[in-house]
Amino acid sequence: MRKYIVPGLLSLFALLPLQARQGMPRLQKQGTATQLIVNNEPFLVLGGELGNSSASSVEDIRRIFPKLQRMGLNTVLVPAYWDLLEPEEGTYDFTLIDEAVHQARQNRLKVIFLWFGAWKNSMSCYAPLWFKENYRKYPRAHTQTGKPLEIASSFSENVYQADSRAFARLMKRLAAIDKEEATVIMVQIENETGMLEDARDYSPDANERFHAPVPQALTDYLLANKQTLHPQMLEKWGKQGYPLKGNWQEVFGADIYTDELFMAWSYAQYVERMAQTARAIHNIPLYVNAAMNSRGRMPGQYPSAGPLAHLIDVWHCAAPHIDLLAPDLYDEGFTAWVAQYKLHNNPLFIPEIRLADNNGVRAFYVFGEHDAIGFCPFSIEDAPDHPQSPLIQSYARLNELIPLLARYQGKGLANGLLFDEKNRERILWQDDLKITCRHYFTLPWDPRAANGTPWPEGGGILLKLNRNEYLVAGSGIVIEFEHRNEKNAVPPQPLGEDGFTANGENKDRRKAEMWSGLRAGIGSVDEVAINGDASFRYIRRLNGDQDHQGRHVRIPSGQFSILHVKLYEYK
């Protein structure tokens, strides 16, 4: 690799011991949420992951990082390539690592490094050539028919030692240049680990271990955690009668999903050893990411045995030094996927999601609904950086909201909202209120609702601050507040934008049943900005046409806002 000297970089690193210690990044619990703590403050990752090859040259790093700062990101996920870090066995080059850290500091960004080591998207494509060529020393996984794969065997001690040695050198470099500054806030070990073509490795070493007894550590874990196991694990083990001894097929049954469990144990044990090495050198949060078991695919058609939700018990048992299992999301059914990974024993972090215009509202949703640690569209350098871009608007508002969201995470006071043309409405019940939340295009006077215009996703956060006091933030949403005891015998008539009845009728409404009960009214709606201490800065009062004469609170599609709402009661 070509060598670069970064102006001022060596002197910058030399001065690090003189800087005030900010505290190592860490995870801590607040209520039901797990928060990432950076510089001793809760930190929400408003991030983006670079494309696979976008950090492979100093020129690209220097070009991309200023753009990300302009876009309002606070974190960038950066590949750390084994083949470029150790191009010759035992010879290490940290030029790209140093430059990424330097550019992050120059552009007020945090970094999460992704170790592209033995496996990336299952394959060993980022292993150095000296490793790939020596397949006898560094053996490959095999299919059931004996076909060798471009996948290093997780059962090989030589493979582990080579991978771990390089990874340890990376962690030592981070400890040397960043222990005081805390620019690097997490590390991902490997990338979308898993077997392809078959559900498990059929190499001789793998076959021997598959027919050996299931490790007692796993059966002890299953027994101790039986009441909280993932439903799929509990069902699979239960079908065999919950045995505690036997080989993999005797304990879990003879099928492809047992092959996957066996392989998951191997991968997780391998990663656990990597994690222990990292903790001993530079103790910052560690995670693993998973390619989804989607589209009706079987294990091996998707990366079998990766850190998937239904395998969480195997991964937790075999890799306790990994902090979380993170989903990479590229399929339909976003809300269902994220719900699978926000579990009582797993916080939600999205290190990859397909880059799209709906990223902005989806980020609001996961922070509001699931107390997410972070949200990171993939190939972020390809996103537009103009101020009206939905993601830039979204991140601008979320950056303001971080101190407020951090204060309320895990306390059951926030909801995430996400709507499209099929899923238009959600009803929430809080205190004495019925809160009806809808897509903005459900407003009857918006012509885009019925003229064939595709409905963009609308989403946001509803945060309860106090009784009858809320914060509404996001884009493309409408919210109505009613007292739960309101009684009205006559169905409401459709109203026009002016608040008058849309179409006249001859029906006599004077014979309706008399009204009873309290009503909820909108006292005020103020558009606000959020200061660093979580206080509000008034921008403007929204009344009249902007709240439909006190009937609802709304944020139009394509516009991201933060609204402070006060309610009152009357009768």
What distance in Å separates the CA atoms of residue 382 and residue 361, rounded to the nearest whole number? 19
Cβ within 8 Å of residue 112, ≥6 positions away: 45, 47, 75, 76, 77, 78, 184, 185, 186, 187, 188, 351
pLDDT category at 40 given cuts 50, 70, 90 is very high
pLDDT computed for residue 12 by the predictor: 37
Residue 202 contacts residue 212 (beta carbons within 8 Å): no
pLDDT category at 500 given cuts 50, 70, 90 is low
| 506-527 residue pLDDT tens | 555 555 566 677 899 999 999 9
Q: Return the closest-CA partner of residue 72 out of 460, 404, 398, 558.
A: 398
Average pLDDT (309-316) is: 98
Which one has a higher pLDDT value, 7 or 243? Answer: 243
Residue 132 contacts residue 124 (beta carbons within 8 Å): yes
pLDDT computed for residue 497 by the predictor: 65
* pTM metric for this prediction: 0.92
Burial 100-121 (b: 16+ CB within 10 A, else e): bbbbbbebebbbbbbbbbbbbb
pLDDT computed for residue 446 by the predictor: 84
| 210-269 residue pLDDT tens | 999 999 999 999 999 999 999 999 999 999 999 999 999 999 999 999 999 999 999 999
pLDDT computed for residue 396 by the predictor: 98
The 3-state DSSP composition of the chain as helix, strand, coil percent (nearest 5) reads: 35, 30, 40
| 48-65 residue pLDDT tens | 999 999 999 999 999 999
Burial 433-443 (b: 16+ CB within 10 A, else e): bbbbbbbbbbb
The structural domains of the chain, ordered by start, are 9-387 (3.20.20.80), 415-502+513-570 (2.60.220.20)
Residue type, 128: P
**Number of residues in the chain:** 571
Q: Return the closest-CA partner of residue 127 out of 207, 137, 325.
A: 137
pLDDT computed for residue 5 by the predictor: 36
| 262-300 residue pLDDT tens | 999 999 999 999 999 999 999 999 999 999 999 999 999
Indicate whether 493 pLDDT > 90. Answer: no
What totals of helices (H) and strands (E) does the chain contain, helices first? 15, 23
Residue 147, classed as helix, strand or coil, is coil
